[in-house]
Structures are given as C-alpha cells and as structure tokens.
Structure 1
C-alpha cells in the first residue's frame, strides 16, 4: 500500500483556477496529512495561494507553465499542447510514475483524450469508462458508469464496465459484494438491446466475482438506493447524469421560489430550514465530486469544472483512496478471474460438442 500518495494537480483547470484548487488541496491535506502534491500551472499564481496553504506548501512541488486547456478546446487541440499544458503535464506525471494520480477540473473531453493517449488502456480492457458517485435515498451512494467516455458499447464493454464499477464500489464504499444492475428501458429480461441481454446473461453466470448482479433497472429508480453500481453506455449514462443534475437544480429552485412567494411561506422556510439544509447538502455535487477514468494504466480523476474548494478536496480524496487500495490491481484480478472461467466454460462446451459428435 502507498503510504504517502503523490497527487498531480492541474491548477489551471476548472472555473476557479489556482485559488479554488490550492484551497481544496489544503482541505484535503488537513484531512489526510500524508498527501503530497505536484502543482502544475502559473508559478506566480500558485505561490500566491500557497501563502495561505501552509500544509500544501510544505509537501508540494511547483512546476511552472503558462499553457492551459480551455473549456471549449477540442480534444485534438488539447493533445497538441499536451507536453506544455498543466493538464498534460499532470497526466505525464502519472505515466512516469512521479505521481500516483492526476486530478483536473478541466475540459472533460480533452482530459479523456490525453489520458487515454498517454496512459493507454489496461490489458484486457477495450475501452476506459468514466465512473462517478451519485447520491441516493439509500445508505450508500451509487457508482454509475459510463458517463460519457463511450457513446456506443458492445456486450464485452458492458461486462468490463460492470467488473470495473464493482471494484470501484468495493474500494470507495467498502462493500464486499456490490449490487450491480444494467440500465435498461424495463426490468423484464425480454426488454432492451441484444448487447444488454447478452451482458446480463454473462453477468448472471459470474457468481464467482465479488459482486451481485441483480438484473435490469430503469431510469426512474436510479435514486432509490437499491443498487450500488449502475452500468450503461456513455450516451445513455451522460443523459441520465445531466437529467439528475438538472432535476436537482429544478427542485431546489422551485423550493426557493415557493418560500419567497408570501410572508407565510417565508415563515415556513424559517421552520423548515434544518431539513432544507440537509437536502441542499445531499444534492450538492461538490459532496459527490470526483469522477474517475477506469481502465487506464494510471489514475486520472475528473472534478466538476465549477467545483468549490470542498469539491476539489473530495476529488483529491477519491484519488488518494484509489491509490491506496490499488484499484488497478483489483480490476486486473477480477478480469483475469472472469476470463479464466469463460475460457474453461467454452472449453467444456467444445468438449461436450465433440463428445456428442464422436458418440
């Protein structure tokens, strides 16, 4: 286990820039004093913020660059600046082994493209997936993937996502056998695409893996808390994620308008403020910040672009947890186990077929 994780931070990524990223790193450092940082961005800006962040200043290395990946930059543009940009340098730090994880609040498409090009996918993984934690009504948060890295996925992709998502849930949420479901247009076995049906068949037979496959679920049940991992293609996953976030904002805005509508409503607001505060905290994306690209030869964590310092700290915490628990090793072990059982099953079927012919 890595006792002192080194986290490479893209200080120029996201809406807040150096003030928010360094403040978030200081919060993360207070929570986890063993953290060390490599800070990539304008040195003048970083040094100015470090004056108010003594914990980070004591355990960090500053690397100067004036080049940042913009929020509207295309992945091809970002890749051309990978050697000089704060985002590209942070990822290169992971590739070289100087850091165990990179954290950026920058352009998601650019981060995915650069990470995949630099780190490459793990052996046995066809495509990496973007996974994140979402709030639910249950005791645990929900791991959902893919959230936008792959718009089209075949059966093998979905099975691999399930294996990676379960490993992520075991690592971050401490679950021995996470409950895994596939997102579908219905819970019945006959519904859905052929890829979903085939993936379900394979996962039902994978009882030897440290997960519990529990079939299909629909979009309106994502927040119930009756699953720990939801697997889908990136197209559907991204739409579901944006719908959840938009609905949360709509509910909070409607409540605010209602409480401002009359004097009686304002008095009602004062009485219900504790409950509303709890709701606000539960729905705040900063409290569930830190999506990770699973399936790469190295850890890259994506923060919300508009995250505040608490959100940045939570993203750093996710990165540190994945480093310490060596999630890459867990994924490799589970995939190897799955492949070994699949090979043995196919060999047995072929032998039975040959025996029936010879018989």
Structure 2
C-alpha cells in the first residue's frame, strides 16, 4: 500500500512565518494530493493564512502553541523549552508516530539539538549529518555534512558516506552512487589523516552499494561527475555558502551588465529565455530542503528565507524520504558495513570455522 506522508511543520520557524509555510503547503498539496499536515504554532496566525488556502482545511490539523524558538536562541536553551515550542512539538510528533517527518525553517542548531535528543541516533551512527542537494552542470549532487558537525574523525566520514549513498539511491534511483571525499587535492597523499584514513576504509568497503572514487576539490563540485560529496560540517558549510554567494554574484553581475546601456538592454531582451533558465537553475528555492540523516526519524531543514516555492520543495523532499524509507535503507547499509568490519576479528576468534 502506498504511503500517504504526514508532515509535521513548525509554522513559526523561518523569516516569513506562517504565510510562506502555508502557501508552500498549498503548492505541495496541489502537486501531491496524498499529503497530510500537522501544523504547530500560533493558532490565530495559522488560521488567518489557512483562510487564503481553504482546500488545505481538510488535510491540516492545527496544534496551538504561542512558544517558538528564536533565531538567536542557543541550542541548550532551546532543549529546555522543546516540549512547549512549535519546533519541539513538531519533532515530538515524529517521535510519537503521529507524523512521518518534521519540517522547520527555524534555528538550525536548535533543530539539530532537539531532534537528536528526541529521536536519538541510529545504531552505528555516532553523529547525524545535514545533507542537501546541490545543483551542477549534470544533475543535483548529494553533499554532507553541511554544518551539523564541525570536527569529524574517519569513522564519522565513513558513516556520512553510507548515509549519503542511501540518500542518493533514494532520490535518483542509482544502484551504486559515485562517492568522493572533499579534499584539497585529488592525490592520495594529500589531506588530513582523517580524510586519508576514511578513504582507505571506503576503498575496502567495495561490498557496499556505492562506488568510492577518491577525492574531489572545491572547484570541481559544479561539474556533476560525482553523486555524493562527503566532508566535515566545517568544510561543507563553507563550500555551501561559497556556492550560494557565487550564484548570487553571477546573477547580480549579469543584471548590472544588462542594464548598463541601451545596447545591453537590447541584448538582455534577446537573451532573456536563456537567462530565465539560468535563474531557475541557481534559485536556492528550487533546491531547498536539507535532511538530518542518521536519526531514528526524519527531520528536514528549510531555508529560513525560503518563499512558498522553496517550502513546497522542502515538503517534497520530506515526502520523498518517507516514501523511499530512507531510514531503513541507511540501517541496512550500516548493518552490512558493521558485519564486514568485524568479520576479520570473528575469523581470528574462530579459526576452525
């Protein structure tokens, strides 16, 4: 039987608040009639937005709470107030089995802290990772970690590779996604000890449903010659923000160039169809929706500044993860990895078998 995803949404998270979230829900529902929602937040504010999108009334349950996590709030403070806030209640809906996934555009650190405490990490995972899809010349690439863990050891990076591969298989239907580690060079001798050790472990894990292909550099991320890019959260967040800033720089530079003279404006008119394609490709709203992988439950992070299109895209990511049972796939790959990792020790303990 096909799953009808039920998404718990923090209606107070994000820069725009319930307006963008409810409009995004309406757009997502038009695209996928099976979606159901639980909304957590200020009931009066939510009701005012639902009146603008009345078809949602039959598929939304509103849970009132006046409390919300502020953008400036520390994770330790957020944890103490989790049970009464819109963010914490949305995550607890997943924990209690009321919803299949939770979505918030609020404070990322608080979201990670509350989700990790409520849902716990999966067996075999030391730290959850934040994964998202990045646009390239070929197709979107899965990249993780994007900021959840600033320091990672080799084992963490291997776990990220396993989770990222499962994510890629779910999203793109690939049998063996190509996986690379982000490094300062492609040569085997370059990089930190953690990167070199992780690479050695992944080369030995040929039994996993992935194809480890060594290292990649930051300037090659947009080429699309890889399916999964693995890194620590410090490097990943810098790479992500740099890519987003470069995209804005390109669009702003083109806008300035095409308005600098009458001839330029005429050129803009001729080039507009191609420029519109570029705008769509670089628009972060079309790639919105990062997933916390490695938890016993699905949590999706939306950009705080996302508009209704971005929110709809993030909801689509959550629904896709639900339908593809991403948590089960990660668990199976981790079990396989652990079984092979401990096999040599077992053989030494039982040499006669």
In the superposition, the TM-score normalised over structure 1's length comes to 0.95
Q: Deviations over 1:233-290 (max 9, x none)?
A: 0000001001101111111111111111111111111110111110010000000010
Residue 141 of structure 2: aligned partner: 142
1:45, CA displacement in angstroms? 1.2
Q: Give the structure 2 partner of residue 357 of structure 1.
A: none
CA distance in structure 1 between the aligned counterparts of 2:75 and 2:328, rounded to whole angstroms: 29
Matched with 1:130 is 130
Alignment of 1:329-348 (within 5 A): 329-348=328-347
| SS state at 1:83 partner | helix
- Structure 1 residue 346 displacement after superposition: 3.9
Q: Report SS of the residue matched to 1:51.
A: helix
Spell out, residue by residue over 1:92-151, the C-alpha distance to the aligned partner (whole angstroms, 9 max, x if none). Answer: 10110100100001111111111111111111100000000000001x201000000001
| In 2: Cα distance, 1:300 partner to 1:55 partner | 25
Asked if structure 2 preserves the Cα contact closer than 8 Å seen for 1:134 and 1:142, the reply is yes
Shift in Å, 1:179: 0.7
**Residue in structure 1 matched with residue 153 of structure 2 by the alignment:** 154
CA distance in 1, matches of 2:56, 2:191: 49
Give the aligned partner of residue 224 of structure 1.
223
What is aligned with 2:67? 67
Partner in structure 1 of residue 38 of structure 2: 38
Equivalent residue runs for 1:1-359 within 5 Å: 3-138=3-138, 140-348=139-347
Which runs of 5 or more structure 1 residues have no equivalent in the other structure? 355-359
Root-mean-square deviation (Å): 1.4
Aligned length: 352
What is the alpha-carbon distance in structure 1 between the residues aligned to residue 318 and residue 55 of structure 2? 18
Matched residue SS, 1:278: helix
**5+ residue gaps in structure 2?**
none
SS of the equivalent of 1:177 reads coil
Deviations 1:12-59 (A, max 9, x none): 110111111001001111111111100011111111111222332111
| SS, match of residue 52 in structure 1 | helix
Deviation at 1:175, TM superposition (A): 1.6
* TM-score scaled by length of structure 2: 0.97
Q: Within 2, Cα distance between the matches of 1:83 and 1:122? A: 22
- The CA deviation string for residues 48-81 of structure 1, in whole angstroms up to 9 with x for no partner, is 1112223321111100111111111111221122
Q: State whether residues 102 and 299 of structure 1, in contact with CA within 8 Å, keep that contact through their aligned partners in structure 2.
A: yes
Q: Distance in 1 between matches of 2:153 and 2:225?
A: 25
